[in-house]
Amino acid sequence: MVSAQAPIHSGFNARSTADDVIAGLDLSGKTAIVTGGCFGVGLEIARVLASAGAHVVLPTRTPQMARAALGHVAEGAEIESLDLMSPSSIDAFAARFLASGRSLSILVNSADIMGAPPARDARGNESHLSANHLGHFQLAVRLWPALRRASGARVVAVSSGKHQISGVDFDDMNFERRPYDKWVAYGQSKTANALFAVALDARGEQHGIRSFSLHSGTVVSPFARLLSPEIATFGVFEDDGNTFVSEKCDLKTVEEGAATAVWCATSPQLDGSGGVYCENCDIAHMTSAASVAHITHAAPNTGFGVRQWAVDLDLAERLWRSSENLTGARLP
């Protein structure tokens, strides 16, 4: 049964940190994979899971650069090679993990690209769709045996409030006929992340595999400055150029930005639930509001909410079938 898309009043809020939501939990004996786990919010997610006892695997396109960040994660975390836009790299990583015989208790799909210029992967798929959704779809499908072995696993898809920019255009997912817009492409990929969680949860519940999607909050990491001066217009920089954290806007520290993903991955409050979109360490409310102004200036205690197009089961099933066709990956 898919849980109701309505807040459960968890007791946490937009200012809760990842350390707050994991306090008192013991993840000893559990293995977690965190994509995008070597930098920014992903690194904080990995650090906190490791601090609670989980063995953390960090797949990345740049293992050498990632090793410099490993000091922030508990000793014993693994760095692996993975390129989410390369089908052969995904299959090779999954094969290595499965060959180890380990179960996988937590899979956090955190890596993404945002606002990229037009580009395609080797299969001809638009880059946001490829890196943010299709790569993670293929990864989860390939790791399915390890998720089943855990006898209670969670798959967490890091979506975004920017899903409100666009649903999935099933007639032209790869911008072959419509004009390319980098923010529409990003919004479509974030909707795809949420729909992926709905469809995966429908398939995984009987095996004890539950899935969630979420909005982390607006955490302006150093790489976002590469998008300047466009990012500067979002009102996230102080006069001295530093980012700020605002109670009136959806602006968070890295520690706060990691909290909802960690809550989705570990919280007993979500036992028996799945297929829902979360924010501010709670299940999000449904909304029909959709404007970029709302998306960039939402108050943290009310949140963005989630559009129907991101949690609709029929759309999720349609996306799942399309993703199978685009990747060739199918559950065993």
The Cβ-side half-sphere exposure at 203, using a 13 Å CA radius, reads 19
What domains sit in the chain, N to C, each tagged with a CATH number? 18-326 (3.40.50.720)
pLDDT of residue 66: 75
- 186 catalytically annotated: yes
Question: Residue 59, preceding bond cis, omega within 30 degrees?
Answer: no
pLDDT of residue 304: 81
pLDDT of residue 72: 63
DSSP 130: I
The predicted model scores a pTM of 0.90
From the list 97, 175, 186, 212, the catalytic residue is 186
Alpha helices in the chain (DSSP H): 18-22, 40-51, 63-69, 87-99, 127-128, 135-142, 144-149, 182-204, 254-257, 259-266, 292-297, 313-327
pLDDT of residue 294: 47
CB atoms under 10 Å from CB of 28, counted, come to 8
pLDDT of residue 150: 98
pLDDT of residue 242: 52
What is the spatial distance between Cα 110 and Cα 131, in angstroms, rounded to a whole number?
Answer: 11
pLDDT along the chain (332 residues), means of 10: 83 97 97 94 94 95 77 76 97 98 98 96 96 98 98 97 96 98 97 98 98 92 49 49 53 95 98 97 86 42 80 98 98 92
Backbone angles phi, psi at 187, to 5 degrees: -60, -40
Give the strands of the sheet with 106-109, arranged side by side: 78-81, 55-60, 31-35, 106-109, 153-158, 209-215, 276-279, 282-283
